[in-house]
């Protein structure tokens, strides 16, 4: 009788049987590979997706519930993994495009020339709160504390509102045939939207208004330079683990006269198969490691070229500014561009510093947007304390992004499992819209409650951090409706 999928999984989980797992792979690989191909449209990427999916199956073998349909589980995990793969590719292409735009900043004003005719209409299409957030942040160069104070919201809410407003403005441009990234929108607005005010205009306006006995005052807004965009270089992490599949052994009828000889041949066959599988595994891992190392070296080479280009452009603009005469509006434009390039370089320095200080990182940094890296590098990064403060801001943004993503996954899981809470956090991964949620992120959190979901209020905490992140004394607690933070001593675990 042919064993079922769950029986094969149970055998693999309890005994580590390679034969059982190989049977599962043979049964379901066509389903997984075809689903991956429809998503990623690349045979190489589809192979990577399939390998990752079956790796997840091996890790989750002992946790699948009785009665679970393995085909459905594999299909859902394949979709999530494929979306994650597409997202990584899209971000990589976006970063490369942004880097190219920045290196051409002194000669290429194409983005601004396309945005400028639509900017005021686009600003008008935003609601009052989003429009005010962009004006305060990028037209008047307010920090998030000042933006939040003006809008009557917290610093964190102000940061999210600014990011959301920029994305809506970018979507407005895209619908009208101007395809630009969010970081390009920020850069173009910051560098060009509020040009230098002609000398003496403030005096003329003030005199004219006062002489006409006009009531009220007119304030002039001084523009500053704000840069956005970064080529966030991420270190590629080697993840592939090849599963050695044991070869079959001869199955023949045995006679009592040949029993000893047959057992000896079987022992020799097993030793040979194990040696062959080990060699194939080592070869596959070595080939993949070499490929990843080559990609990483190429990225480092491009990064060095990009830094050299930015340094050269910075030196050129400084020289021009030193020779320029006062009152020339082109001097103001070059000043803004010089500041923009300096901000790009600070952002890259922050990325490199974070990569060389792994103790300052948390897995949730993978979830934050490029604009949040830009904001962390907004101020000068000269002393070690400056980098530590920027790292603290990034960590907070990362865990906040995770806390926003998890409640939806919780609700979807509970609905799909008859109002039952999960036993392990890893069970939520197939239900998360944000496919970037990884096992490493979930490892920092724990379940507070189990049992039937209706036994708890929708605002009752279900998931919390195992420990506060560096620089903070509170822990995030996540419920079905959202999240909150509380001092560590107030977070208690309970069960039903």
Report phi then psi at 316, rounded to 5. -65, -45
- As a whole number of angstroms, the distance between CA 486 and CA 479 comes to 13
- As a whole number of angstroms, the distance between CA 443 and CA 176 comes to 44
Per-residue pLDDT of the chain (496 residues; tens, 9 = 90+): 788 999 899 899 999 999 999 999 999 999 999 999 998 988 989 999 999 999 999 998 888 877 788 988 999 999 999 999 998 888 887 777 766 655 554 434 667 888 888 888 989 999 989 999 998 898 888 899 999 998 999 988 999 999 999 999 999 999 999 888 888 888 888 877 666 556 555 665 655 555 554 334 333 333 233 223 333 333 322 333 232 333 333 343 445 556 667 677 777 777 777 777 777 776 776 666 666 656 665 665 555 556 666 667 667 766 766 666 555 556 566 677 778 888 888 998 899 999 999 999 999 899 888 888 988 898 888 899 999 999 999 999 998 889 888 898 888 999 899 889 999 999 998 888 766 788 899 999 999 988 888 666 677 889 999 989 888 888 999 998 888 887 754 444 444 3
Residues in the chain: 496
Question: Mapping DSSP to helix (H, G, I), strand (E, B) and coil, where does residue 62 land?
Answer: coil
**If we measure between CA atoms, which residue out of 49, 27, 55 comes closest to residue 36?**
49
- As a whole number of angstroms, the distance between CA 370 and CA 347 comes to 10
**If we measure between CA atoms, which residue out of 172, 173, 146 comes closest to residue 159?**
146
* H/E run at residue 465: strand 463-465
Give the predicted TM-score (pTM) of the model. Answer: 0.41
Question: Do the Cβ atoms of 138 and 185 come closer than 8 Å?
Answer: no
Residue ranges per structural domain of the chain: 406-490
10-17 own/partner pairs: CB under 8 Å, 24+ apart: 10/61, 12/58, 12/61, 13/61, 13/62
Question: Mapping DSSP to helix (H, G, I), strand (E, B) and coil, where does residue 315 land?
Answer: helix
Pairing of strands 463-465, 483-487: unpaired
- As a whole number of angstroms, the distance between CA 57 and CA 433 comes to 20
| Strand order through the sheet with 445-447 | 445-447, 463-465, 474-478, 483-487
- As a whole number of angstroms, the distance between CA 344 and CA 230 comes to 6
Report phi then psi at 84, rounded to 5. -60, -40
Q: Is 461 left (phi over 0), alpha (psi -120 to 50) or beta?
A: beta
DSSP letter assigned to residue 138: I
């Amino acid at each position: 009788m042919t064993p079922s999928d769950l029986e094969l999984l149970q055998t693999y989980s309890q005994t580590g049987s390679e034969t059982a797992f190989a049977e599962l792979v043979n049964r379901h690989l066509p389903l997984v590979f075809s689903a991956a191909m429809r998503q990623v449209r690349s045979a190489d990427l589809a192979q990577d997706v399939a390998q990752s999916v079956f790796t997840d199956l091996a890790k989750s073998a002992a946790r699948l519930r009785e009665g679970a349909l393995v085909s459905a589980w594999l299909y859902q995990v394949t979709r999530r993994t494929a979306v994650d793969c597409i997202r990584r590719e899209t971000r990589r292409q976006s970063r490369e495009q942004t880097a190219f735009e920045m290196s051409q900043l002194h000669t290429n004003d194409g983005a601004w020339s396309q945005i400028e005719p639509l900017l005021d209409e686009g600003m008008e299409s935003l609601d009052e709160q989003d429009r005010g957030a962009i004006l305060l942040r990028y037209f008047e160069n307010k920090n998030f504390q000042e933006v939040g104070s003006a809008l009557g919201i917290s610093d964190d809410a102000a940061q999210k509102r600014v990011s959301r407003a920029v994305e809506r403005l970018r979507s407005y441009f895209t619908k009208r045939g101007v395809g630009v990234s969010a970081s390009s929108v920020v850069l173009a607005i910051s560098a060009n939207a509020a040009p230098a005010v002609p000398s003496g205009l403030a005096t003329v306006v003030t005199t004219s208004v006062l002489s006409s006995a006009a009531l009220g005052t007119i304030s002039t807004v001084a523009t500053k330079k704000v840069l956005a965009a970064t080529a966030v270089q991420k270190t590629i992490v080697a993840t592939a683990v090849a599963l050695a599949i044991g070869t079959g052994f001869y199955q023949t009828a045995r006679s009592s006269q040949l029993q000893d000889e047959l057992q000896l041949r079987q022992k020799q066959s097993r030793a040979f198969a194990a040696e062959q599988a080990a060699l194939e595994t080592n070869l596959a891992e070595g080939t993949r490691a070499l490929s990843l190392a080559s990609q990483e070296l190429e990225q480092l080479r491009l990064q060095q070229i990009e830094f050299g280009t930015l340094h050269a452009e910075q030196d050129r603009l400084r020289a021009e500014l030193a020779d320029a005469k006062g009152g020339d509006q082109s001097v103001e434009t070059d000043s803004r561009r010089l500041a923009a390039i300096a901000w790009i370089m600070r952002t890259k320095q922050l990325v490199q510093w974070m990569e060389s200080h792994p103790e300052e990182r948390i897995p949730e940094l993978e979830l934050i947007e490029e604009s949040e890296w830009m904001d962390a590098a907004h101020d000068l990064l000269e002393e070690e304390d400056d980098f530590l403060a920027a790292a603290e801001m990034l960590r907070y943004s990362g865990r906040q992004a995770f806390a926003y993503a998890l409640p939806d996954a919780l609700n979807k899981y509970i609905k799909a499992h008859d109002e039952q809470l999960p036993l392990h956090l890893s069970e939520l991964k197939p239900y998360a819209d944000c496919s970037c949620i990884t096992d490493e992120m979930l490892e920092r959190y724990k379940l507070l409650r189990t049992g039937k979901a209706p036994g708890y209020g929708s605002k009752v905490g279900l998931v919390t951090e195992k420990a506060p992140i560096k620089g903070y004394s509170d822990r995030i607690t996540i419920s079905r409706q959202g999240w909150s933070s509380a001092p560590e001593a107030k977070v208690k675990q309970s069960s039903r």
